[in-house]
Amino acid sequence: MRQRCKGTSKNPNDRIYSSVRIHPPWVHSFHHFMSDVGPRPTSNHTLDRYPDQSGDYIPGNVRWATKSEQSINRKSTRLLTFNGRTLPLSYWAKEMGLDRRLIERRLKGGMSIDQALTLEPGQPATLGFISGLVEGKKLSSDQVSVILAKAKTGDSNLTELGREFGVAPTSILNLTRKFGVVVKKRYTRIRTP
């Protein structure tokens, strides 16, 4: 703690700590530090600024924590609240048996936290998710619904759907795959005279 804040640490990543202050009695007396923070519980514990990770090393903002506890306390950690519990996204992924990247894609696409954590992989999403997914792109949620219905029934193939909606057939194929729709007819065979 003192090496980091004084700038005498050999670790180049510790330079960011030069603006962090230490409670003055702790700088001069290890006894004061021990009476405020207490002894280190195990060799796996290190000092952590908590609950304010941007704050100073002062009484009430310092604790002994394991690496996993400290990883939750990072600014970059995305916390999700579900069923009254707040945990990092990676913890929810492990607990729900889902890939972390799948949950991130679902949330980015407009799903609620509840849907993102409880829908099975490959399970079709609601229209609310579809509209969030295509927001700002060439297709509206109504167009996506029509495309999925036509692809499912075989009324149109990918080439025809692409022409009808002004997008590439591969975009239609990617859209149907994303929502788990099996396409009956894929492409129109190009006939030469």
- Which of 31-40, 104-113, 156-165, 181-190 is the least confident region? 181-190
Q: Check whether residue 132 and residue 160 sit in a common domain.
A: yes
Inside any domain, residue 184: no
Structural domain boundaries enclosing 86: 79-118
Inside any domain, residue 85: yes
8 Å CB contact between 151 and 161:
yes
Both structure tokens of 109: 């696409």
C-beta atoms surrounding 148 within 10 Å: 21
Inside any domain, residue 188: no
Domain count across the chain: 3
Q: Check whether residue 113 and residue 134 sit in a common domain.
A: no
User: Which of 12, 13, 16, 20 has its CA nearest to residue 2?
Assistant: 20
Calpha distance 9→161 (Å, rounded):
63
Q: Check whether residue 51 and residue 84 sit in a common domain.
A: no
* Residue 133: pLDDT band with limits 50, 70, 90: very low
Calpha distance 2→158 (Å, rounded):
65
Inside any domain, residue 159: yes
pLDDT tens, residue by residue, 57-70: 899 999 998 887 88
* Mean pLDDT estimate for the chain: 79
Inside any domain, residue 62: yes
Inside any domain, residue 112: yes
